[in-house]
Chains A and B, each alone.
Chain A
Amino acid sequence: MSGSWIRFRQAPATLSRDIGDEILVTRAWSDRVEGLPGPASVVWRRLASPVTLPELLEDVSRAYEVEASAIADEVKTLLDELMNKHLVEELVSSHD
């Protein structure tokens, strides 16, 4: 999953609501709504346009004033979960 040549973004069929410190997300044909509180909401907002993992880590670490390495595992886990739920998709660059 890691590697700067892969970019991530919100899947096109997702629907969301910003309710302050949390973003609620679902997708078409689903009855399940996911809550993305705190840092997860920062990740979601950043995924509105395609972003690489290093870029994402940099943005979140800047927002929370922590080292990127300190949050890397959590952000990767979150991305995996969001991809498993078809809320986020990978875009693989054709010319690396």
Chain B
Amino acid sequence: MTREHRSTLLNSIASVGLSAAGGPVIETSADEWPWIRSRILGHRLTGLALEACDRGELRLPEQNLEELRGLQREAMALALRLEARLIEVTEALDGAGVDVTVLKGPALAHGYYPQAAWRPFSDLDLMVDPDEWGATAETLAKIGFERALPEPRAGFDVNFGKAVSWTSGHIGIDLHRTLAAGPFGIWIKPEELRARRAEFTLGDQTFKRFDATGLLLHACVHASLGWRPPLLLPLRDVLQIAAVDGIDWDRLRNWSEGWKLNAVLQHALTTASSLLGAPLPRPARELLEVPVSTKELRALEAYTTNRRQRGGTALATIQAIPGLRQRAKYARSLVLPKREFLQARATEGERASYLRRWMTPASWLLGRKHT
């Protein structure tokens, strides 16, 4: 299978159903299956791949098709378990007076995709107000969740953190303060997104998610900054949401300009449209014409280039944090976290070491000299 054939195959699966005309018919053989299987799982495309098979746009040998059905069954069983747990978690948080916003997975699968089965997810993403962070942590612990890593230093979560992972058995929750790590996470104002929410229903429960405009902004942020290179399902999210009625494009532009997200939105929209071969709606195309500052482009490069592996996000964060005192606090959290945090990060059998931690930024700087 050539590199070109592979990317055409994946992009076609990720774009199934976007065009009324349908996509090209792609024939595959059994010896290509291990590669296809691993990429379908990696990009979380089981539902879209099965849809492509049903439409005759993807032809898999019967045995591989059966395996794909099994993978989709597993993915959907997990999605249902997560939704069942979401009901329990939000009831408990409601009881503790915490106002929860559901992000990503269930918030997009229901109402934004033609079928919820097209949009798998493997954990829950919830956002709460930083003022309710303590009550949230207490409640999650009460219902059996454990924090994956301790806080690096007191106050880090609510001042600088993007999200904290909690687990209970096979169920994971990412509890968000904001939508992105690094400078964009500092510039975004989550309280404004939370002020514009909509409701959706699962079973007999009602949940809150961002409205369509907020969801599109978050989808762009996640698609562009979440992974390098971008994953296909978040790119599909961008196109899926951009196609709905009800997006306030003026508000999106105001948010984008105010929160220095023009480069991020443009990157996400152009990448989604070009990789998945789907045109953008006119107002989205107009967003591509908005001028982008050098500061934004530099910040975006900290995520989308190999600067990301060289501490680019952490260094860009220091520059974005307002005030010397806060910058020093952030830097101290990175360089001198609590022993407990270091120990939790150390690999098994390894002693927590500040020296090892300090060598990381040193290697970033040395790496920089060589590039």
Contacts and interface: CB of A to CB of B under 8 A. Distances in A.
A48 interface: no
A39 B259 CA distance: 53
Q: Is the interface of B mostly helix, strand, loop or mixed?
A: helix
A91 to B, nearest CB: 15
A16 B80 contact: yes
Interface in B226-281: none
Interface string B49-84: 010001000000000000001001100110111011
A35 B76 CA distance: 11
A1 to B, nearest CB: 24
Given A13-B203, A28-B203, A20 B84 contact: no
Contacts of B204: 12-13, 28
Contacts, number: 57
Interface string A5-28: 000000011111111101011111
A24 B77 contact: yes
Interface in A32-76: 33, 35
A10 B115 CA distance: 19
B116 interface: yes
Nearest to A31: B81
A17 B87 contact: no
A30 interface: yes
Contact of A17 (B69, B80, B205): B80
What size tier do the contact residues of chain B reach? 20 to 34
Interface string B72-104: 110011011101100110000000000000000
Contact of B203 (A17, A27, A33): A27
Contacts of A15: 80, 83-84, 202-203
B203 A14 contact: yes
Contacts of B79: 17
B140 interface: no
* Candidate in B69, B79, B84, B88 with the most chain A CB atoms within 10 angstroms: B84
Contacts of B50: 19-20
B117 interface: yes
A28 B202 CA distance: 9
A18 to B, nearest CB: 6
A22 B73 CA distance: 9
Nearest to A13: B203
B80 A28 contact: no
Interface in B1-60: 50, 54
Most interface-central of B54, B80, B116 (chain A CB within 10 A) = B80
Contacts of A16: 80
Given A12-B203, A13-B205, 9 more contacts: A15-B203, A19-B69, A22-B73, A24-B73, A26-B81, A29-B84, A29-B87, A31-B84, A35-B73
In order of increasing CB-CB distance, the 7 nearest A-B pairs are A12-B204, A28-B87, A17-B76, A13-B203, A33-B77, A26-B80, A15-B83
Interface of A: 12-20, 22, 24-31, 33, 35
23 contacts: A13-B87, A13-B204, A13-B205, A15-B80, A15-B84, A15-B202, A17-B79, A19-B73, A20-B54, A22-B73, A24-B77, A26-B80, A27-B84, A28-B84, A28-B87, A28-B88, A29-B84, A29-B87, A31-B81, A31-B84, A33-B77, A33-B80, A35-B73
